[in-house]
Structure 1
Amino acid sequence: MLSLYIHIPFCVGKCHYCGFYSTVYSPSTAVAFISALGREAAGYHALFRERLFESVYIGGGTPTVLSPGQLGLVMDAVKRHFPLASDVEYTIEANPNSLSAGHLSLFREQGVSRLSLGVQSFSPDLLKILGRPHTVEQAVDAFSLAREAGMSNIGIDLIYGIPGQREHQWLETVGRALDLAPEHISAYALSLDEGSRFLTDSAAGSLVLPDDESTAVQYESVVSLLNRAGYLRYEVSNFALPGHACRHNLNYWKRGEYLGIGPGAWSFLGNRRYQNIGDVEDYTARLIAGAGIITAEELIDSTQAANEYVMLALRTSRGIDLDRYGKEYGARSLERLETNSERLRGSGLLESREGRLVLTDRGFLLSNEVLTRLFR
C-alpha cells in the first residue's frame, strides 16, 4: 500500500504539548508555501505515474487555518500530480475553532472521506493547560457542523495524563466524546516531545506529569468504556467502530510506503527514509530556486527493518505475523524473536494466537517495557 501525507505548517498558535513543526499563519507566507508545495508535488508526478495512492492524509499544523480557497489549491495539486485509487481514504485534520461550512463544502467537492477533529479534552481548564485555541462549545459545534455537512466518518483525538487532570475529568471527556458518536477515537497519553513548551517547562521543574499508575488507570478506563460502546482497539491508542479503522495509520504500522510533502514531512520508500527541511520559508525559497529540500536521510538495513516491523506491528491488535516475519527477515531472526518473547509470554504480556505474536491486555498497558525486553 502507498500513502500520501501533506504537511500544512500553519497554526493559530503553538499548543504547549506539540512537537510537530508549525508556525503562526501569515497570509503572504501561506501563498508562497502553496506555490512551493505545488512545485514539490509536480516533481514527483513522473515517479508515481504508474502507482496508486490508497490513502491521503492532510495534517499539520492546522490545515483548516488555510481558507477554503487556499486549501482547495492544495487539494487540486494532489489531484493533478498523484494518481488516487477509486476507493482512496482521504483524511483531513481540523481544529474546532477554524473549521467552517466553507471548508466542509470543499471537502465534499474534493472527495474527502474522513475528518480528524482535534478536540483533546472536554474540560475548559485542561484545554487551557494544553494551550488549545478552542472551547468545549466550539468542539461540539464543529462536530455537529461536520455531521450536518454529510461527513459520515469522523475521528476525535483525546489526550490523557495531563498535569492536574482528575479521573472524573477524564471519564467526563470520554463520555462527552461517546455522546457525539464518532466513528473513531484516538486516546493518546501526553508525552514530552522535542520542541514542545511542555518539555522546556518539565526540564525547568515547572511542569510535572502524573505518575505512571494514574496514567495507567486512565488508559484502562478508556479501553473499558470504548470497548463497552462497541469501539475496537486496533492499535495501542486508536479505537474504531467496525469498518472504520484508519487505513492511512494502519499502513504506517505495517511498514507500508508513504510519501510526505511539505516542510518537515517524512517519506519512506523502498528501504529509504528521508525528511524535508522543517522551515516553511527555507522550504519555499529552495523550491523556487530549484534547490534540494531533503535534510535528513537514511537507508534501512535488514536488521533495522526487522526491528521496526516488531515495534510497529506489536502496537496493533493483530500483532506480529510470524510466518511473514520469518520469510522477510530470515529463520535466525525469527528464532531470536521467539526466544526473546518466551519469558514475556510466561509473564502474561504476550501470547501466541493463530500464528501471530500479540500483546495481552496487560501487555498493551506495558507495551514500552515489552519492546525493551524483546530487544535485550
Structure 2
Amino acid sequence: MLSLYIHIPFCVKKCLYCGFYSTPYTAEHADRFIDALRLESAGMAEAFSGKEFGSLYLGGGTPTILSSQQLTTVIRIIRSHFKIAPDAEVTVEANPQSGSEPLFLALREVGVNRLSIGMQSFSDRLLAALGRPHHAAQALDAFENARRCGFENIGIDLIYGIPGQTLGDWTQTLDRALTLRPDHVSAYSLSLDEGSDYYHRAASGELHMPDDDAVAELYDKGVERLTAAGFLHYEISNFAQPRSECRHNLNYWRRGEYLGLGPGAWSSIAARRWRTVPDLKSYCTGLTNAFPVIAEEETVGPAEAALETVMLGLRTRNGIELEGVAGEFGSALRDRLLAQAAPMIGQGLLHAEDGRLFLTDRGMVLSNAVLRRLSL
C-alpha cells in the first residue's frame, strides 16, 4: 500500500515531552504554509500520477489548530493533486481543546473518516505535568462531539509512565477511556524525545522517570484492561476493535511506501528515504522560490532494509513471515534470524509457528530488550 502523510507544523504550545517539529500558530503563518503545501503537492503530483494512496494521515503539530476553512483547504489541495482511493482511510489528529462540532462536520464533508484524539490522560494533574493545553472534561466533550458528527472510527492516545503517575491513576484513565467505547487505543510509554523539555530536565537530574519495573506494571495493566474489553492487541502499543486497526500505521510497520509533505515530514519510496526541511520559514521560502526543500536523504541498502523488516514486523501481533524474509533477503538471513531467536524462543519471549516468528505476550512487555538482541 502507498500512504500519504501531511505534517501540520502548528501548536498552541510545545508539550514538555514532544520532540516533533512545531511552531506557534498564527493565521498568517498558516496561510503561508498552505500556499507552500500547494506548491509542494503540485511539484510531486507528476511523479505519483496514476498511483493510488490507500491512506491519508494529517498529523503534527496540531492539525485541528487550523480553522475549518484552512484544514478543509489542505485536504482539498491533496485530493486535487493525488489519487486517494475511494475506500482510503483518511485520518486527522485532533486535540481535545479544538474538537468542536463545526470542525468535525467540516472534516466529514471533505471525506475524513477517522479521528485520532490526543487525550493522553484523564487526570488534570498529569495533563498539567505533561504540558498539555487541555483538561480532561474537554477530552470527553471532543469525543462526544465526534460521535454526534457521525464518526464511526475514533482512536484515542493515552500515555503511561509519567513522573508521579500511580497505578491507580493509570487504571482510572483506562476505565474512563473504556466508558467512551473508542474504536482504537494507542497506549504509549512516555519517551524522552531528544530536544524536548523533559529530555533536558531528565539529563540534568531534575526530572526522575519511573523505573522499568513500574513502567512494565503499567503496561501489563493496560493490556489486561483493554484486551478484557474486547480490543485486539495488534501492535506493541496499539489496540483495536475488530477491523479498526490503523491501516496507515500498519503500512509503516510493514515497510510500505509513503510520501510525506510539509516541514519535517519523512518519505520512503523504493530504496530512497528523505526528509523535508523541518523549518516553516525555510519550507515556505524554498517552495516559493523553487529551491529544494529536502534537508536530508539516504539510500536504504539491503542489510538495513532486512533489519527494518524484522524490527518493524516483530512489533505487530502477526510478526514476520519467515519465507517472505527468505524470498526478499535470502535464506541465509532467515536462518541467521532463527539462530538468534532460538534462545529467546526457549525463554518464552518469541514464538515460531505456521511459518511466522512473533513476540509472545511476555516478549511484548520486554520488546526493547528482545529487539536489541537481534542484530542479523
Give the match's secondary structure for 1:291. coil
**Any residues of structure 2 matched to 1:226-245 within 5 Å, and which?**
226-245=226-245
Matched residues in 2 for 1:296 and 1:62: separation?
A: 24
| Equivalent residue, structure 1, for 2:17 | 17
State the 1:316 CA deviation: 0.2
Runs of 4+ in 1 over 4 A off after TM superposition: none
Matched residues in 1 for 2:178 and 2:353: separation?
A: 31
Matched residues in 1 for 2:95 and 2:195: separation?
A: 21
State the 1:372 CA deviation: 1.1
Give the letter aligned to residue 251 of structure 2.
N
State the 1:363 CA deviation: 0.4
Give the letter aligned to residue 262 of structure 2.
G
| Equivalent residue, structure 2, for 1:58 | 58
Residue 263 (structure 1) aligned with residue 260 (structure 2)? no
| Equivalent residue, structure 1, for 2:291 | 291
Matched residues in 2 for 1:103 and 1:47: separation?
A: 32
| Equivalent residue, structure 2, for 1:105 | 105
| Equivalent residue, structure 2, for 1:356 | 356
Residue 173 (structure 1) aligned with residue 173 (structure 2)? yes
State the 1:48 CA deviation: 1.0
CA RMSD of aligned residues (A): 0.7
Give the letter aligned to residue 247 of structure 2.
R
Residue 276 (structure 1) aligned with residue 294 (structure 2)? no
Given the two structures, how large is their TM-score scaled by the length of structure 1?
Answer: 0.99
| Equivalent residue, structure 1, for 2:196 | 196
| Equivalent residue, structure 2, for 1:94 | 94
Give the letter aligned to residue 181 of structure 1.
R
State the 1:194 CA deviation: 1.1
Matched residues in 1 for 2:149 and 2:32: separation?
A: 30
Residue 330 (structure 1) aligned with residue 320 (structure 2)? no
State the 1:331 CA deviation: 1.1
**Any residues of structure 2 matched to 1:303-322 within 5 Å, and which?**
303-322=303-322
Matched residues in 1 for 2:296 and 2:24: separation?
A: 24
Give the match's secondary structure for 1:318. coil
Matched residues in 2 for 1:73 and 1:111: separation?
A: 12
| Equivalent residue, structure 2, for 1:26 | 26
| Equivalent residue, structure 2, for 1:373 | 373
**Any residues of structure 2 matched to 1:36-55 within 5 Å, and which?**
36-55=36-55
| Equivalent residue, structure 2, for 1:246 | 246
Matched residues in 2 for 1:77 and 1:126: separation?
A: 38
Give the letter aligned to residue 77 of structure 1.
I
| Equivalent residue, structure 1, for 2:341 | 341
| Equivalent residue, structure 1, for 2:153 | 153
CA distances 1:111-140 after superposition (whole Å, capped 9, x unpaired): 111000000000010000000000011000
Unaligned runs of 5+ in 2: none
**Any residues of structure 2 matched to 1:200-215 within 5 Å, and which?**
200-215=200-215
Give the match's secondary structure for 1:97. helix
| Equivalent residue, structure 2, for 1:120 | 120
| Equivalent residue, structure 1, for 2:219 | 219
Matched residues in 2 for 1:371 and 1:105: separation?
A: 43
Give the match's secondary structure for 1:71. helix
Give the letter aligned to residue 217 of structure 1.
E
State the 1:320 CA deviation: 1.0
| % identity of equivalent residues | 53
Matched residues in 2 for 1:363 and 1:169: separation?
A: 25
State the 1:340 CA deviation: 0.6
Unaligned runs of 5+ in 1: none
State the 1:102 CA deviation: 2.1
State the 1:106 CA deviation: 1.4
Give the match's secondary structure for 2:373. helix
CA distances 1:52-80 after superposition (whole Å, capped 9, x unpaired): 00000000000000000111110111110
Matched residues in 2 for 1:226 and 1:72: separation?
A: 34
Residue 8 (structure 1) aligned with residue 4 (structure 2)? no
Q: How many residues align?
A: 376
Matched residues in 2 for 1:194 and 1:35: separation?
A: 30
Matched residues in 2 for 1:136 and 1:227: separation?
A: 24
Give the letter aligned to residue 134 of structure 1.
H
Give the letter aligned to residue 362 of structure 1.
R
Given the two structures, how large is their TM-score scaled by the length of structure 2?
Answer: 0.99
State the 1:40 CA deviation: 0.3
| Equivalent residue, structure 2, for 1:135 | 135
